[in-house]
Each structure stands twice: as structure tokens, then as C-alpha cells.
Amino acid sequence: MKRISLVALAGALMLPASSWAQPKNVAKPIAVIGIVAGAPRGQQFNMRANGQTYRVTVLPYVPLTNVKGGDRVRVWGIPTRANLQRANVRVLASGVSDNPDDYNPAGN
């Protein structure tokens, strides 16, 4: 039987919850500012930023009632390739896009 010293056990119990609660390979949330491309569909919408298009999936309690195509938004979320998962959204300016496809929900 392997014995654990009381010092090691006390040290393990005193670790902060953040050091063991989340796996180390989970990406850190990032903030991206971009333009909403098309109309939101359910809890998802497309966003153009940094020369690419992201598919944004927002948290269930985040309302998308004030998000429209062509709006400039700031999105905080977990990056996974060209997606942002578990995101939070804030509209910075409405109707700022010069691209008519951003305002046309049928264009998606």
C-alpha cells in the first residue's frame, strides 16, 4: 500500500479550484469585432471579421432580438476553427455594412 504524506495531502487539498476544475486543453475565450452577415437563425449567426467568416453560436440566455444583418458586433466566445462557441454578443453599431448581402437573409 502506498503512503501519502500529510504535507502532500494538505497541498493537494489547498489547490485553487481553477487549477483542476477545467481541462488544460480548453481554449481561452477571445473577443472578435465584426459584421453580422445575414439574419440570425435561432441561436446562430454568421459574422465576417479578420478576412474570414465565423459561425457564432451564442449562449442560450443571450437574446438575439436586437442583432440584425449588417450590424457591427463584439463577440466573446470559445474559438473552435472558424466557429465561436458559447458566445456573448454586444451590438456596437446598427446597419454599418456597405455589403447588400449582409442585409438579405435569403443570401445565406
- For 38-80, the pLDDT digits (tens) are 889 999 999 999 888 999 999 999 999 899 999 999 999 999 8
Give the residue from 93, 86, 83, 78 showing the smallest Cα distance to 35: 93
Res 81 pLDDT > 60? yes
As a CATH number, domain 23-107 is 2.40.50.320
Parallel/antiparallel/unpaired status of strands 83-93 and 72-80: antiparallel
pTM for the complete prediction?
Answer: 0.69
Cell of 58: 451564442
**Sequence-ordered list of residues with C-beta below 8 angstroms from that of 80, at least 6 positions apart, any chain:** 27
Provide the percentage of residues in the chain whose pLDDT is more than 70. 71
Parse the chain into domains and list their residue ranges: 23-107
How far, in Å, CA of 59 to CA of 64, rounded?
10
